[in-house]
Amino acid sequence: MTVDPSFAAELRAIAPRLHHYLDQFSQARVLVVGDITVDEFLTGQVERVSREAPVLILRHETTRQIPGGGANAVYNLAKLGAQVKSVGLVGKDEQGQALRRIFTDATIDTEGILVDPVRPTVTKTRISGHARQSVTQQIVRIDRKSDDLPDVELQEQLADYIRQHLDSVDAVVCSDYGDGVLTQPVIEAVLKHPRVIVDTQKELYRYKGAMIFTPNLPEAEKAVGYAIATPADLMKAGQDLLNLTQAHHILITRGEEGMSLFGRDGSEQTIPAFNRTDVFDVTGAGDTVVAALTLALIAGATPWEAAILGNVAASLVIRQFGTATTTVHDIRSTLNQLLEQ
């Protein structure tokens, strides 16, 4: 990984503070409200083409289940050492039970995860196959989800749980993948907390007044209604998003172009990408940014400092295939490597 020489001096100046914030991550208490998902991976070896239809027959080898969607944000926070309460919905199915087991093993509080008896746990099953001595490739993905909103009573139960626990947490993260958990009663309950971090794929205006939003570039373009192709477009989009959301800050993540942070005071700050070459999979990188950003803010970092730590964390997970997490130790080591350049 490399850092732009002009940015390196700024990084060295704040390095002691960044390390101090990392030391505080384990003290943070976070409530995550989100669309929790199971990412399921079924892998097998291709034996032959079926006589029933022109399709491959796989001999099953492994099944792996990991947190996805909003559950990945929860898991990232836990792996970074935070004390995490998860709020969301699962179905009355094996995938929901599996997710609870994964969370319990990671010491995540699952009391706020309620069972929806009529909707399935959102599950994305990727079926992959390989021939002998060849690479494994995805063949098909099967999604299990419902387009119906949860019952009004369930929405109110989630909102009640949130209200009961707001005073016991340092921040609330909203991880909205559009799967129905973050309805209006739930959002209204969340916004009672002074430190709300929002990661949503659409309808940012529903969270008006939250502390900080973290859209990626396509999400930002969708929200403002125009392409962001030039620095002038980017500046305009930042201000338009601030007006739309009434947020304190907007952090637009821009892939290999880094991140741009906009403040209500008219400020704009850019954090360059630290990893432009060893990029294997960006899946879930936004959840990693949100996790590190949130914990840094709780530790006392400025939004700019918090975004830097979020950027370092994301630069690590995109080097791995599939939804991934990182640790404080790895972030610290990478930060030291950047400072030595």
Domain boundaries, the chain: 5-36+69-120+146-339
Strands 122-130 and 171-176: unpaired
pLDDT of 1 above 60: no
Going from the C-alpha of 195 to that of each of 18, 34, 74, the distances in angstroms are 20, 16, 17
Q: Which of 105, 147, 287, 330 is catalytic?
A: 287
Tell me the two tokens of residue 75.
């898991």
Q: What is the pLDDT of residues 98-108, one digit of tens each?
A: 999 999 999 99
Confidence of residue 233 (pLDDT cuts 50, 70, 90): very high
Q: What percent of the chain has pLDDT over 70?
A: 92
SS3 234: helix
Tokens standing for residue 26: 């384990």
Read off the pLDDT band of 323 (50, 70, 90).
Answer: low
For residue 160, indicate whether it is catalytic: no
* pLDDT of amino acid 255: 80
pLDDT score of 281 more than 50: no
pLDDT in the model for residue 251: 96
Q: Is the pTM of this model over 0.85?
A: yes
Architecture of the CATH domain 5-36+69-120+146-339: 3-Layer(aba) Sandwich (3.40)
Tokens (6 digits) for 117: 């008896």
Indicate if the alpha-carbon torsion angle 212, 216, 217, 220 is positive or negative.
negative
Q: Which residues pair with 253 in a beta bridge?
A: 216, 259
Least confident of 16-25, 62-71, 228-237, 331-340: 331-340
Per-residue model confidence as pLDDT tens digits over 193-213: 999 999 998 899 999 999 999
pLDDT at 312: 87
